[in-house]
Amino acid sequence: MVPVKDTSPLQHGESSLLEQPAAIRRPPPFVVPPFVVVTGGPGAGKSTLVAALAAAGVATQAEAGRAVIRAQSAAGGTALPWIDPAAFAARMLDHDRRSYRDAWRRGVPCVFDRGIPDSAGYLDLVGLPVPAVLARAARRLRYAAILVAPHWPGIYHNDAERRQTPEEARRTEERVCQAYRACGYEPVPLPRASVAERVGFVLDILRRLG
């Protein structure tokens, strides 16, 4: 059975994701594959954890945001968070939908470095509306578990692609968690622990998902 594709027209009265009442936001009864998202604010060890899981043989999908930034920077494009946040979010959605469909075709448990609702949280953070196409994708392409890497001042640092201040990182975590809750999920915090301990935590969840 395959997930419902994001091709339906916008229905009359449909609003953006974060504006919908809880009764409308409940997830639809689609088959949920054994997909796990690792999300949170920048610099919380999320991508390091996903890389360690990949090294341990777990199927993973890379973060859309960094991939878009690298591609746009190399091409001289403007779909960058510090130039055109809306275009940046649209490129992230394209990347995330491809990643989701690729993981579905592979047919094995998979860990995602961020998921589709992250883009909704990002747009809310920068004060932009969530497009209907993103809201539909976030509701329809489901994940089995959402794990949040909490802000961790002891490991936070900036780089060429991570320009946020620690306060912006904390606010990012708040907004992405809000976006996941708006989609009917309850994010589970990862422990502030070593990479090896976090890997064990995620592997245990994957075992329980079957």
- Tens-level pLDDT at each residue, the chain (210 residues): 323 333 333 333 334 444 443 333 444 445 578 999 999 988 788 989 999 999 999 999 999 998 999 999 999 999 999 999 999 999 999 999 999 999 999 999 999 999 999 999 999 999 999 999 999 999 999 999 999 998 767 665 556 555 567 678 788 899 999 999 999 999 999 999 999 999 999 999 999 987
Q: How far apart are CA 124 and CA 133, in angstroms?
A: 15
Identify the pLDDT of residue 45. Answer: 87
Please return the burial class of 28, using the count of CB atoms within 10 Å of its CB with bins 0-12, 13-18 and 19+: exposed
Q: How far apart are CA 167 and CA 149, in angstroms?
A: 15
Identify the pLDDT of residue 158. Answer: 59
Q: How far apart are CA 34 and CA 110, in angstroms?
A: 7
The residue to which tokens 């890379």 are assigned = 62
Each domain of the chain, given as residue ranges in start order, spans 31-209
Q: How far apart are CA 124 and CA 113, in angstroms?
A: 19
What's the distance, CA 173 to chain centroid? Answer: 11
Q: Which residue type sits at 100?
A: Y
| Third-level CATH fold of 31-209 | Rossmann fold (3.40.50)
What's the distance, CA 76 to chain centroid? Answer: 25
